[in-house]
Chains A and B, each alone.
Chain A
Amino acid sequence: MSESILYYGVIPAIKAVVIVLVMATAAGVLTLFERRLLALLQVRKGPNRVGWEGSLQWVADTFKLLFKEDIVPAKADKVVHYLAPLFIIIPAMTVFAVLPWGPEVSFFGIKTPLYAMDVNIGLLFVLAVTTIGIYGVILAGWSSNSKYSLIGGLRSAAQLISYEVPMGFAVAAIIVMGQTLSLVEIIEAQKRMGLWFIFPGLVAFFLYFVSGVAETNRTPFDLPEAESELVAGFHTEYSGFKWSMFFLSEYANMVTVSAIATTLFFGGWLRPFPNVAFLSFLDFIPPIIWFLLKVSFFMFVYIWFRGTFPRYRFDQLMALGWKFLIPLSLGNIVLVAIAALWGKTGLTVLGTILTIAFAAGIFLAFRVPPKRLTVIEKSRPTEVPA
């Protein structure tokens, strides 16, 4: 009996606490990472005063946020205004329960895997829980009694629903390849085949990451909080601790998207080319470090995007989602399903073809001189229905 309490009570509880603490701290450190990196991309200095090279800036920011006055607008719906940050932070933290950080390790003689649980509906669990986060954005926009917030909330409702569809289809392609919903077993399948799913899943990865950026409201899809149009969008009327909940969950969601992308497409905790024997000297790096390295790379890409791309206009956003990503994702499922009929061979062939096509595309893109962009003018809406 005491053993089952240890394995079903104490260890999951410890993991839950560790995950929440690590994530709350990581979000703080990531803000510093983001600000310094953006500064580097924009040729300026960024925060460099608090601590060595600004390394304690995030601690100062945290204390500032915690002690700020909490202002609730007049005529706001107080209960919903209070609930909205909870709606966004609880799902963001819950997803971390299923992220596979590393394989089984042993601490002080107790063997335990480096994830809180491996549920058999893994991927569906991730998708289902993250959809609840939409409510935080919508309710924050509605309850604040402010038109900027309301427009931000409306935009995000339309955006998040639209981009959930290609994201779901992209993930479905991976389910076809791995023949399982469990995140741990997807990693195991990549190990068995000796093939990261990025190769046959090149299109799926593109779809997943673009939708993921849209789902986390990051540039170039940050319309719900477009600061040049809507002040700060859905969280305009939030301050202090409640505002920091929105902030924290944005970073938590970015980590989630990066971690899922790593797990589905880049072999999770596996080293590169897991079945090639002469690369086995790479095994001196523990699996969790591989995982964190890959996740950090995607976090870097997020910030890189923010330093590079301008924001989409709303009708462009909808056109991209519905007219390009969704048809592409449907075609991709058919393609992957046909390849998966031949098992590992089929997926390898598909991966080779896609990789060659991708390399050729990059090569041609650099050879052909860029034309003047006229597409944007054409897509402007001609008439607005009354």
Chain B
Amino acid sequence: MDPSVFFFWVFAAITVVGALGVITMRQPLHSALFLLLTFLAVAGLFILQHAEFLAAVQVLVYAGGIMVLFLFTIMLVNVRRQAKEPFVNRRAGIAVLAGFFLFLLVGGVLTGPALVKKGPPADPAALKTTVIENSTARVVVPGNSEAVAWGLYRDYLLPFEVASVFLLVAMIGAVVLGKRSLEKFD
């Protein structure tokens, strides 16, 4: 078997096992650790696709930032108390339905015709190229970080800016909500 195919299945299996662990563990911290496992395995999948930049950012942002904040909250609010709640809650049916729709959506995007018109390809001369040499062949791979940068800051500049405005709005909303709940205590 081709080694990259072998590693794909290894990482894919770890991703699925980690995701299952997130929803089956009773202790919130154990769930969080399985989520971390999933994030790392997805980073591995990115590397197999030669998306090294995405892989590093995945680890840096999700594993290094967001998950640590999750753990911080878990440690603050619940000090090792086992949850006594039933394993499946009342909204299980709705969750299954939503999951099914997500599955259809992703499947449709992957198999159907392309909905988004692709922008003009990035100027290859502007991309830094890496030359991978081995005994048989010389393969020229465009630098991944540069490719991402051209995509984000030129081809899709407007969607990128709109997304960042959304994030800013969400953050201001969170601050307002957080402040209101503090004022109640005074």
> Nearest chain B CB to A62's CB is how many angstroms away?
31
Residues of A in contact (CB 8 Å), total 37
- Say yes or no: A120-B75 contact (C-beta < 8 A), given A128-B56, A161-B68, A385-B185: no
A157 at the interface (CB under 8 A from B): yes
Residue pair A121, B128 in contact (C-beta under 8 Å): no
Residue pair B135, A4 in contact (C-beta under 8 Å): yes
- Say yes or no: A131-B63 contact (C-beta < 8 A), given A153-B75, A154-B75, A160-B68: yes
Residues of chain B within 8 A of A80, CB atoms compared: 29-30, 33
Residues of chain B within 8 A of A121, CB atoms compared: 52-53, 55-56, 144-145
CB-nearest residue of chain B relative to A132? B63
A-B contact pairs, 23 of them (CB 8 A): A77-B29, A80-B33, A83-B33, A119-B52, A120-B130, A120-B145, A121-B53, A121-B145, A124-B57, A128-B59, A128-B60, A131-B68, A135-B36, A139-B33, A142-B71, A142-B75, A153-B75, A154-B76, A157-B72, A160-B68, A161-B68, A385-B185, A386-B186
Residues of chain A within 8 A of B56, CB atoms compared: 121, 124-125, 127-128
C-alpha spacing A380/B36, complex, angstroms: 37
CB-nearest residue of chain A relative to B71? A138
Residue pair A120, B143 in contact (C-beta under 8 Å): yes
C-alpha spacing A67/B144, complex, angstroms: 48
Residue pair A132, B59 in contact (C-beta under 8 Å): yes
Kindly list 15 other residue pairs between chains A and B, CB separation below 8 angstroms, not including A4-B136, A131-B60, A161-B72. A80-B29, A80-B30, A121-B52, A121-B145, A124-B145, A128-B57, A132-B59, A134-B68, A138-B68, A141-B75, A150-B75, A157-B68, A157-B71, A158-B72, A180-B128
Residue pair A4, B134 in contact (C-beta under 8 Å): yes
A164 at the interface (CB under 8 A from B): yes
- Chain B interface residue bracket vs A: 20 to 34
- Kindly count the residue-residue contacts between A and B in the assembled complex, taking CB atoms under 8 Å apart: 91
C-alpha spacing A386/B33, complex, angstroms: 30
- In A360-386, the 8 Å CB interface with B consists of 385-386
C-alpha spacing A164/B63, complex, angstroms: 13
Residues of chain A within 8 A of B80, CB atoms compared: 77, 145
A8 at the interface (CB under 8 A from B): yes
> Nearest chain B CB to A13's CB is how many angstroms away?
16
Secondary structure type dominating chain B contacts: helix
B173 at the interface (CB under 8 A from A): no
> Nearest chain B CB to A322's CB is how many angstroms away?
14
- In B12-70, the 8 Å CB interface with A consists of 27, 29-30, 33, 36, 52-53, 55-57, 59-60, 63-65, 68-69
B1 at the interface (CB under 8 A from A): no
Residues of chain A within 8 A of B135, CB atoms compared: 1, 3-4
A202 at the interface (CB under 8 A from B): no
- In A81-115, the 8 Å CB interface with B consists of 83
> Nearest chain B CB to A362's CB is how many angstroms away?
36
Residues of chain A within 8 A of B125, CB atoms compared: none
B162 at the interface (CB under 8 A from A): no
Residue pair B59, A131 in contact (C-beta under 8 Å): yes
B182 at the interface (CB under 8 A from A): yes
CB-nearest residue of chain A relative to B72? A157
Closest 4 pairs (CB-CB, A-B): A131-B64, A124-B56, A128-B59, A128-B60
Residue pair B134, A164 in contact (C-beta under 8 Å): no
Residue pair A127, B60 in contact (C-beta under 8 Å): yes
Residue pair B185, A386 in contact (C-beta under 8 Å): yes
> Nearest chain A CB to B181's CB is how many angstroms away?
10
> Nearest chain B CB to A148's CB is how many angstroms away?
14
Residues of chain B within 8 A of A7, CB atoms compared: 134
- In A145-191, the 8 Å CB interface with B consists of 145, 150, 153-154, 157-158, 160-161, 164, 180-181
Residues of chain B within 8 A of A385, CB atoms compared: 182, 185
A19 at the interface (CB under 8 A from B): no
> Nearest chain B CB to A141's CB is how many angstroms away?
8
Residues of chain A within 8 A of B64, CB atoms compared: 127-128, 131-132, 134, 164
Residues of chain B within 8 A of A386, CB atoms compared: 185-186
C-alpha spacing A161/B63, complex, angstroms: 11
